[in-house]
Amino acid sequence: MSSASDLAALAGLLADETRAAMCLALLDGRAWTAGELAGHAGVAPSTATEHLHRLVKGGLLTERKQGRHRYVQLADPAAAQLVEDLAARLEPETPRGGLRAVTASAALRRGRTCYDHLAGRLGVAVTDAMTAGKMLDQDGGFALTAYGKEWLVSTLGVSLEAGRRPLARACLDWTERRHHLAGVAGARLCEAFLERRWVTRIGTGRAVRVTPDGTRALRSLLKTEVV
C-alpha cells in the first residue's frame, strides 16, 4: 500500500510551475524534446533537464533517445488522466498576454487533444452525439453500447482491443465542465478523425480544428455541428 510520503512525493512533482507547464504541454499526446519543453516553459535547457529527470524518475514521464535527441512523453494514459483531472479542478482563468493569448485559449476551448482523445467543445459534442445516437450509455456507467461498438468497428474501421485499459471512460473536460469520451474508444476515435483529416492540429500545440470534410462527416455520421 502506498504511504503518505509516497503520495506527498508524487504531489511534489507537480508542485512546481515549470514541471506543471511541461506536463500540461505533453497532454497533446506527442513526444517532445527537452529543448522544446525548455522553450515552452521559458527556462534554460539545463534547468529543463533537471526537471525532466525528476518527472521521469517519479514515473510521470518516460523518455527515449533517438540519435542525438532525447524525447519525453507522459508515461501512460493513467499519468495523463492524473494531470487532466487536476487541471479540471481549477477555475478556468481569463487568458492574459494580449490578442495572441486570447486566440490560443479560444482555440483550445473549441477543440483539443487530451493526451490521446478529443476534448473541448468538439470532444463534448461528439460524446453528446454518440449518447443521443444510442452508441454511448451515460446513465449506465459511461459505457459503449453494443451498437456503439459495432458503429466504431464497421463505420470507422477501428480496433477496440482494450487490454487492461478501460474501453470507455468519462473524462471531465476542464474548459466545458462536462464529460468527454476517453479510454480505448476515445483514443481510437481521435486517431480515426486525425487520419481521415476530419480534424487537424493547429500549430504544434494541443489545439485542433474541424476541417470542411470533418464538418460534413460529423453532420452525416453523428448528426451534430461543432462551432
Q: pLDDT digit string (tens) for 91-117?
A: 655 555 554 555 667 888 899 988 889
Cα separation values, 66 from 33, 61, 71, 185, Å: 10, 16, 7, 30
Domain that holds residue 67: 4-75
Asked if 167 and 159 touch (Cβ cutoff 8 Å), the reply is no
Quick one: 116 and 213 in the same domain? yes
Check residue 97 and give its pLDDT: 54
Best CA proximity match to 68, nearest among 33, 30, 111, 94? 33
Q: Do 131 and 105 sit in the same domain of this protein?
A: yes
- The rounded distance, in Å, linking the Cα atoms of 174 and 49 is 29
Q: Check whether residue 109 and residue 186 sit in a common domain.
A: yes
Statement: residue 195 has pLDDT above 90: yes
27 and 107: one domain?
no
Residue pair 80/117 in contact by the 8 Å Cβ criterion: no
| Domain-located, residue 104 | yes
Whether 80 maps to a domain, the answer reads no
204 and 103 belong to one structural domain: yes
Same domain, residue pair 59 and 98: no
Are residues 202 and 118 part of one domain?
A: yes
Span 72-94, average pLDDT:
80
Does the residue 205 lie in any domain? Answer: yes
Same domain, yes or no, for 13 and 104?
no
- pTM (two decimals): 0.75
Same domain assignment for residues 136 and 201: yes
Same domain, 58 and 110: no
Mean pLDDT, range 19-38, rounded to an integer: 89
116 and 25 both lie in a single domain: no
* pLDDT higher at 171 or 2: 171
User: What is the total count of domains within the chain?
Assistant: 2
Over range 117-134, report the average pLDDT: 94
- Looking at residues 171-195, what average pLDDT do you find? 91
Torsional sign, CA 41, 45, 46, 48: positive
Do 110 and 10 lie in one domain? The reply is no
In a domain, 177, yes or no: yes
Say which CATH number the domain at 65 has.
Answer: 1.10.10.10
